Amino acid sequence: MRIETLAAMLLLAPAAVSAGGAGDAMPFLKMDAGARAAALSGAYSAAGDDALCVFYNPAGTALAAKKEALLGHNEWVQDMRNETLAYVHPLDPRFTVFAGANLLLGGKMDRYDAAGAADGSFSPLEGAVSAGGSAWLGRGWYLGAALKNLSQQAAGEKASAWAADAGVLKKAGDWRVGLAAANFGSSIKLGRDKFDLPLTLRGGVSYTFLGDYTAAAEWIRAGGSDDAVAAGAEARLKTGPKEYFFVRAGYRSGRSRYAGPGLTAGAGLANRDLRIDYAFVPYGDLGDSHRVTVAFRFGADRPAPFDRAAYYGLPKPRKPAPAAEKKAGKKAGGQEGKKENVYFMW
């Protein structure tokens, strides 16, 4: 059996099964989307504060300080590629709308008949397109939800289904707690067979300390797979007035002996509006995964009141309070309101 056929069986379960029951449909949705999250081994339902939250916890999109467009590329087994797109649009201090697409392009694969003889080739395609909104509820609470359409085509067969995502996020000082559910909805039918969508449940916690360091841990149940635990850490190093370099690492349990050690690593560069992230994820006998994500923020800052995320840029300087200005004026000039001549010496 060629590696392309094996990969198709692993990632395109419904297309590779001709009769009888099978596991979850569209198992590629269990893979991490986006380089930053992948470098943290998927511990992102609480740690996320950018457009990648579309794929992990839609409530996190409410933390976006500006409009943001994100494009991700993942080179996987053989000719398989995973492409992700996301867009977040703050409407006002409380509400945000967003959209996302997660696509798996299988490249050209050989097709075989029941006798094992070559029968041409096909190019499988799977995808999920979603749109939704999130809201800041006050007191550190955020809520988000999205509706998505899932579609699949392979070897002349096509199928589609509807599903939804939802999540909640709580901020308390430097701590965050996130809960999210993805892909709950109808089953997908391919030919005579029906397949359940990979319902994914997440519960995570993150902590930011010393302003530039974040640690996150997460429990994940993805479809019929065994429960997994993910942990990741991120360090932000200032390299310029508006520039940062990021170092990330993570570990995820639950890998089989043939699917790699579960370790992940990555790095990133960011200024006030542009971010480029990279992640390396080894999958053992299945090969290594290289992910690159580019995100661009634009437009005006979300108006206050708003709990700003610490991921981008430097905080804006605060204006001194009127009382402080009055006190400073008294110290400098004596009585309040007294005018003085000012002289400059060069």
Range of the domain at 13: 3-320
The string of pLDDT tens digits covering residues 268-300 is 999 989 999 999 998 887 778 899 999 999 999
The CATH number of whichever domain residue 45 belongs to comes to 2.40.160.60
DSSP string, 159-224: EEEEEEEEEEEEEETTEEEEEEEEEEE--EEETTEEE----EEEEEEEEEETTTEEEEEEEEEETT
pLDDT band at 249 (very low <50, low <70, confident <90, very high): very high
The string of pLDDT tens digits covering residues 217-242 is 999 999 888 899 999 999 999 999 98
At residue 310, the pLDDT reads: 44
Q: Is the pLDDT of residue 201 over 60?
A: yes
Residue 49 within any structural domain of the chain: yes
Residue 335 within any structural domain of the chain: no
Task: Compute the C-alpha angle 52/182/246, nearest 5°.
Answer: 25
Residue 140 within any structural domain of the chain: yes
* Mean pLDDT across 11-32: 56
Residue 135 within any structural domain of the chain: yes
* Mean pLDDT across 17-46: 79
The residue with greater pLDDT, 54 or 157, is 54
The string of pLDDT tens digits covering residues 148-183 is 999 988 766 788 899 999 999 999 999 999 999 999
Residue 218 within any structural domain of the chain: yes
Task: Extract the tokens encoding 332.
Answer: 């400098």
Alpha-carbon gap, residue 291 to 278, rounded angstroms: 6
* Mean pLDDT across 108-129: 71
Residue 344 within any structural domain of the chain: no
CB 179 within 8 A of CB 45: yes
At residue 112, the pLDDT reads: 64
CB 59 within 8 A of CB 167: yes
Query: Looking at the 3D structure of the chain, how many domains does it have?
Result: 1
Residue 237 within any structural domain of the chain: yes
Residue 338 within any structural domain of the chain: no
The residue with greater pLDDT, 284 or 314, is 284
The residue with greater pLDDT, 110 or 178, is 178
Which residues are CB-neighbours of 90 under 8 A, at least 6 positions away?
A: 64, 65, 66, 67, 96, 302
